[in-house]
Amino acid sequence: MPVKKFLQYIQFEKRYSPHTVTAYQSDLNQFIIYLNAQFQTDDIAKANHFFIRSWIVSLIEAKINTRSINRKITVLKSFYKFLMREQMIEQNPMIKIQSPKNSKRLPVFVDKIKMNDVLNDENYENDFEGLRDKLMVDMFYNTGMRLSELTNLKLQDINQQVCSIKVLGKRNKERIIPYALPLNSLITEYLNERTKKLSEVESDSLSLFINCKGKAVYNKLVYRVVNEKVGNKTTLKKKSPHVLRHTFATHLLDNGADLNAVKELLGHSSLAATQVYTHNTIEKLKNTHKQAHPRG
């Protein structure tokens, strides 16, 4: 019951995205399973700091990465804070819990030459799906939007007159992202083919990106497309839509873009989240100095 009330709270009051709500539910369920197995209880509201520390240690021993562990701790902090607010518990067990330090990881991105290869026509089939796939990849790179933001795009979100896209980000925050003029011709070409496809399958979908049945594309389909197209032209281990988001931000900063402007384009709530991309630029400068300086 406490978990259900908490999930309703973050969904309807905090207005977290469905993806985030599902992730929170999954983490809480994992903790409940652990409580059952180790302490023969599924009453998460009665878990104390000893139980929580025991779970964290088990995650570390299972070689779960630090970022994932810290995310689970964040979920528990939000959950027990909610229980305190609702007077469902008298003490917050998270007060004595410390998060392990995250190891610094630079965002993975595609370099400029390889990105041109990824967007080359030869990387796509000459049909409706090929045109759609190219536009999706190009839109990720042009705008830096998230996977869920792209799959939720509607026709009315595109303004070709001023070359901008309205996206609905985390916590239902809207933002307007401009895109480069050359993308307009690709959008127009796709929209024409999209209209033909809808007439063939007798669909009236309002989603911008559709599959061959006229239905909105889903996250796994888009992920699979990006993974394949980036994988065809690079040797990166990670080939997700988020890598294209990293690429967008890194290339902007490499070319002198203002950090605050990049923050707004990405839809970050704080500058700290955006600053991670400056490390790639600094590393690039270090390598240049090392290669070019007589005492490098």
Among residues 154, 170, 279, 284, which one is catalytic?
170
Hey, what are 59's tokens? 């995650």
Other CB atoms within 10 A of residue 252 CB: 19
Among residues 166, 242, 279, 284, which one is catalytic?
242
Is 279 known to be catalytic?
no
Give the DSSP letter of residue 155.
Answer: G
Among residues 134, 194, 245, 251, which one is catalytic?
245
How far, in Å, CA of 170 to CA of 77, rounded? Answer: 20
Is 246 known to be catalytic?
no
Q: Say if CB 137 and CB 229 are below 8 A apart.
A: yes
Is 85 known to be catalytic?
no
How far, in Å, CA of 154 to CA of 229, rounded? Answer: 24
Q: Say if CB 185 and CB 126 are below 8 A apart.
A: no
Q: Say if CB 107 and CB 250 are below 8 A apart.
A: yes
Among candidates 189, 176, 68, 69, which has minimal Cα distance to 134?
189
Is 49 known to be catalytic?
no
- Region of residue 153 (phi > 0: left; psi between -120 and 50: alpha; otherwise: beta): beta
Buried b (16+ CB within 10 A) or exposed e, 168-180: bbbeeeeeebebe
Is 170 known to be catalytic?
yes
Among residues 146, 197, 229, 246, which one is catalytic?
146
How far, in Å, CA of 267 to CA of 269, rounded? Answer: 6
Which H/E stretch holds residue 230?
Answer: helix 219-233
How far, in Å, CA of 106 to CA of 103, rounded? Answer: 10
Among residues 80, 124, 141, 277, which one is catalytic?
277
Backbone angles phi, psi at 158, to 5 degrees: -95, 125
Q: Say if CB 170 and CB 267 are below 8 A apart.
A: yes
Among residues 114, 268, 279, 284, which one is catalytic?
268
Is 268 known to be catalytic?
yes
| Amino acid present at 40 | Q
216, β-bridge pairs: 210
- The residues annotated as belonging to the active site are 146, 170, 242, 245, 268, 277
